[in-house]
Structure 1
Amino acid sequence: MGSPLGVLFANFYMGVVKERVFSQIRVPDVYVRYIDDTFVMAPSTQDIDPLRRTFEECCCPRFTVEHGKDGPLPFLDVLISPNPTRFDTSVYIKPTNLSFSLNEDSECPARYKASIIKTSVCRALSHCSSWAATHQELD
């Protein structure tokens, strides 16, 4: 913990665990992982529990499952809404976010102030799957 290599080690460890698990069971149709956060789409919620159990048998960490029931499900900072043929995505902001930002009148360098705006615009453009969602995020 606290080591600059921590993320690298965690990612490597989860990659090894993933290889072990999927040598034993079938890979789900949709499996996306960012370090230890995983998004899986399965035909039913009953198909998720054997996957979680197999992961726990192959490694030390315990896994939690959050089911999406015909509604949007957050994954990292993306809100994923299932549709019959695709996923609609938008920016996800946690309910605990107070939306505070750097004060415009602060003594901070101008490039930091500009980077806040640039980051918000880039996030809206990269995370939103429709122009309506992008415009809503930019507003």
Structure 2
Amino acid sequence: MGSPLGVLFANFFMGTVEEQVFGDIQRPSTYCRYIDDTFICVKSESELQVLRQTFEEKSGLHFTMEKSTDGALPFLDVLLKVEEDTISTSVYVKSTNAGHCLNGQSECPDRFKETTIAAFVRRALSHCSEWKNVHREIDRVSQMLVDNGYPHHVVSSVVKRTINKCWHRNIY
């Protein structure tokens, strides 16, 4: 995946494998893929094992899988939770994430620093299905940014401006 074309090749390869697999077995009712990460809902453990085995036979690859725990499953950087037939989403951050980002004291234009803050806010707005999760994520990110040398008043200002801009454009 170190090549600029790596993503393109991986996506093409997985699309070819999917064609072969779903030519032999029925496609699950929920099947989503982003490059080489898939999100699948199946009815039984045996259906999952057949799907995994078929993918491995057709591709020559080894597939790892993560099952939901207590109704929660991370996919990419979104945490999906199922509670009483309701699905909620929030930002998922791996436990190994050290919280590094562009340092607030670095010698770069202020617009780069503001864009860094705004990107975290937009991610919270787009990934979280409930306002309480948005607030929790913005609080976490704000502290991370302050820890990375951003002045608190700058973080607060950019957070408010970004939320207002997204709200008025209905981007949330």
TM-score past 0.5 threshold: yes
User: Partner residue of 1:126?
Assistant: 126
Map residues 33-112 of structure 1 onto 2, 5 A cutoff.
Answer: 33-112=33-112
1:5 maps to 5
Max Rg structure: 2
CA change 1:30–1:68 in 2 (3 A) is: same
Counterpart-to-counterpart distance in 2, 1:84 and 1:55: 32
Structure 1: give runs of 5+ residues left out of the alignment. none
CA contact 2:71–2:83 (8 Å) conserved in 1: no
Instruction: Provide the residue aligned with 2:21 in structure 1.
Output: 21
Q: Give the AA of the match of 1:126.
A: S
Alpha-carbon displacement from aligned partner over 1:90-138 (angstroms, at most 9, x marks no partner): 1000101111233322212112101111110111011111111111111
Alpha-carbon deviation of 1:42?
A: 1.2
Distance 2:45 2:86 in 1: 19
For 2:44 and 2:27, the matched residues in 1 are separated by: 14
Instruction: Give the Cα–Cα distance (whole angstroms) in 2 for the partners of residues 47 and 19 of structure 1.
Output: 18
Moved more, 9-18 or 36-45: 36-45
TM-score under structure 1 length normalisation = 0.91
Distance 1:74 1:81 in 2: 9
**1:84: Cα distance to partner?**
4.3
Q: What RMSD over aligned residues (CA atoms) do the two structures have, in Å?
A: 1.5
Match of 2:166 in 1: none
**Distance in 1, Cα, partners of 2:86 & 2:36:** 24
Q: Where does residue 152 of structure 2 map in the other structure?
A: none
Q: Structure 2: how far apart are the matches of 1:16 and 1:84?
A: 37
| Aligned partners of 1:31 and 1:38 also within 8 Å | yes
Shift of 1:77: 0.6
Aligned partners of 1:28 and 1:44: how far apart in 2? 11
Letter in 1 for 2:134: T
Structure 2 length-normalised TM: 0.75
Judging by fraction of residues, say which structure has more helix: 2
What is aligned with 2:153? none
What is the aligned residue count? 139
CA contact (8 A) 1:45 1:67 kept: no
Gap runs ≥5 in structure 2: 140-172
